[in-house]
């Protein structure tokens, strides 16, 4: 480890070098490397021992690493491309992420609203825990004076709300044009212990095959199935909204999406305009149950109102007629 010394085991967590992005966001920063100098290891592949017990923190728990496997030696090209060298040995270690190992409860939730219904579907109440008045510290008020004194850790320190989710993603159906429809997405951070640098959002919706414009987020289509383009990755614009700050007045990012309508599939009925699934930084966000989605105004009530209006008009006309008779 360059700049460090250790015996039998090493901790590389203190050697920080930025944020490891997803491949879709930025392939140039989707890889990271560091160098270890091991003493008394010999100079042959018989004396060098394979390292064991890898642990990856990026950040916090959630990753499980398998054993190192010997693979084909890596090859390196000199800066001027005149010479090529080969590593004596190369090992490959695969680490997998589990949302369930990372935290006991999900880390994000989704809420809905629309222009055609006054109902706002909030995140499920107490789904991520309930405010415990008998045990102070389960959450903090937005203006609590002791927030700055809380030790930094990966444990969420959330603002007191009815849902206690660290992150909320809100999907609002904003406008309905003749050939287009418009959505506003707002991501709010309720966690005082975390800034999300280079965050990303993955959204599944059937109309992403006709996305016309993303106004304040970067967009990349993800096609898990070749013939179906219904999944998109969204992330912030560099130096503008690529960092989701901690809970507070600046702890949110937002953008609007403009979709072109497909007359064969588009509808505002039965929750079609709401997303099927949302992931924040790879974590599956909890969606509201379908039976509480904002619905279109009841057409029966409009028909009843029209019938009553027609009846009143008819009675008024008859009264006027008899009055002149």
Among 74, 102, 130, the domain boundary falls at 102
Per-residue confidence (pLDDT) for residue 305, from 0 to 100: 41
Task: Verify that 219 and 292 share a domain, yes or no.
Answer: yes
Q: Which of 33-37, 279-283, 302-306 is predicted least confidently? A: 302-306
Per-residue confidence (pLDDT) for residue 324, from 0 to 100: 58
Whether residue 306 is contained in a domain is answered as: no
Whether residue 2 is contained in a domain is answered as: no
Does residue 105 have a pLDDT over 90? Answer: no
Among 102, 130, 151, the domain boundary falls at 102
CA dist 77 and 64 (Å) reads 32
- Tally of domains in the chain: 2
Task: Verify that 240 and 268 share a domain, yes or no.
Answer: yes
Does residue 298 have a pLDDT over 80? Answer: no
Q: Report the range out of 31-45, 149-163, 190-204, 309-323 with the highest average pLDDT.
A: 190-204
Task: Verify that 159 and 221 share a domain, yes or no.
Answer: yes
Confidence of residue 86 (pLDDT cuts 50, 70, 90): confident
What stretch of H or E contains 259? strand 252-260
Q: Which of 174-188, 189-203, 226-240, 290-304 is predicted least confidently? A: 290-304
Task: Verify that 160 and 266 share a domain, yes or no.
Answer: yes
Per-residue confidence (pLDDT) for residue 3, from 0 to 100: 46
Whether residue 318 is contained in a domain is answered as: no
Per-residue confidence (pLDDT) for residue 12, from 0 to 100: 61
Per-residue confidence (pLDDT) for residue 153, from 0 to 100: 61
Q: Are 52 and 70 in contact (CB under 8 A)?
A: no
Per-residue confidence (pLDDT) for residue 71, from 0 to 100: 93
Q: What percent of the chain has pLDDT over 90?
A: 39
Q: Which of 11-15, 105-109, 124-128, 288-292 is predicted least confidently? A: 11-15
Q: Which domain holds residue 32?
A: 19-102
Per-residue confidence (pLDDT) for residue 317, from 0 to 100: 62
Whether residue 244 is contained in a domain is answered as: yes
Task: Verify that 215 and 241 share a domain, yes or no.
Answer: yes
- Averaged pLDDT for residues 158-183: 92
Whether residue 304 is contained in a domain is answered as: no
Q: What is the pTM of this model?
A: 0.76
Whether residue 236 is contained in a domain is answered as: yes
Task: Verify that 91 and 222 share a domain, yes or no.
Answer: no
Residue 139 backbone class (left: φ over 0; alpha: ψ -120 to 50; beta: rest)? beta
Per-residue confidence (pLDDT) for residue 44, from 0 to 100: 79
Q: What is the pLDDT of residues 123-170, one digit of tens each?
A: 987 666 666 655 555 678 765 545 554 545 667 788 888 888 899 999
Residue with tokens 């890898």: 54
Residue with tokens 């592949």: 45
For every residue of 260-325, DSSP letters joined together read E--TTT--SGGGTTS-SEEEETTEEPBPPPGGGSPPPPPHHHHHHHHHHHHHHHHHHHHHHHHHH-
For every residue of 172-208, DSSP letters joined together read EEEEE-SSEEEEEEEEEE-BTT--EET-EEEEE-GGG
Q: What is the pLDDT of residues 28-45, one digit of tens each?
A: 888 877 777 777 777 777
Torsion (CA) 144, 148, 150, 156 in degrees, nearest 10: 80
Among 75, 102, 129, the domain boundary falls at 102
**Residue 89, preceding peptide bond in cis (omega within 30° of 0):** no
Number of residues in the chain: 325
CA dist 26 and 201 (Å) reads 14
More confident residue, 111 or 56: 111
Whether residue 48 is contained in a domain is answered as: yes
């Amino acid at each position: 480890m360059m700049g460090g010394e250790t015996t039998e085991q090493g901790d590389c967590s203190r050697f920080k070098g930025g944020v490891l992005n997803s491949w879709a966001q930025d392939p140039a920063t989707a890889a990271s490397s560091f160098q270890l100098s091991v003493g008394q290891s010999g100079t042959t592949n018989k004396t060098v021992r394979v390292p064991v017990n890898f642990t990856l923190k990026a950040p916090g728990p959630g990753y499980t690493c398998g054993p190192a496997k010997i693979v084909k030696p890596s090859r390196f090209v000199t800066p001027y491309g005149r010479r090529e060298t080969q590593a004596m040995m190369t090992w490959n270690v695969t680490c997998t992420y589990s949302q369930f190992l990372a935290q006991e409860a999900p880390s994000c939730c989704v809420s809905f609203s629309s222009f055609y219904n006054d109902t706002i579907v909030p995140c499920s109440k107490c789904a991520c825990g309930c405010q415990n008045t008998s045990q102070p510290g389960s959450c903090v008020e937005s203006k609590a004076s002791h927030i700055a004194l809380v030790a930094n850790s990966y444990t969420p320190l959330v603002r007191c709300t009815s849902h206690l989710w660290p992150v909320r993603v809100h999907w609002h159906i904003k406008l309905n044009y003749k050939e287009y429809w418009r959505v506003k997405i707002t991501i709010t951070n309720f966690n005082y212990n975390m800034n999300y640098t280079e965050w990303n959002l993955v959204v599944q919706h059937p109309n992403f095959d006709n996305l016309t414009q993303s106004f304040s987020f970067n967009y990349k289509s993800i096609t898990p199935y070749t013939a179906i383009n219904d999944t998109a990755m969204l992330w912030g614009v560099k130096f503008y909204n690529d960092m989701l700050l901690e809970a507070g007045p600046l702890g949110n990012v937002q953008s609007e999406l403009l979709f072109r309508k497909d007359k064969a599939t588009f509808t505002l009925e039965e929750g079609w305009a709401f997303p099927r699934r949302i992931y924040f930084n790879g974590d599956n966000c909890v969606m509201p149950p379908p039976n509480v989605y904002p619905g279109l105004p009841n057409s029966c009530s409009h028909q009843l109102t029209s019938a009553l209006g027609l009846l009143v008009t008819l009675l008024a006309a008859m009264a006027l007629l008899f009055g002149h008779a």
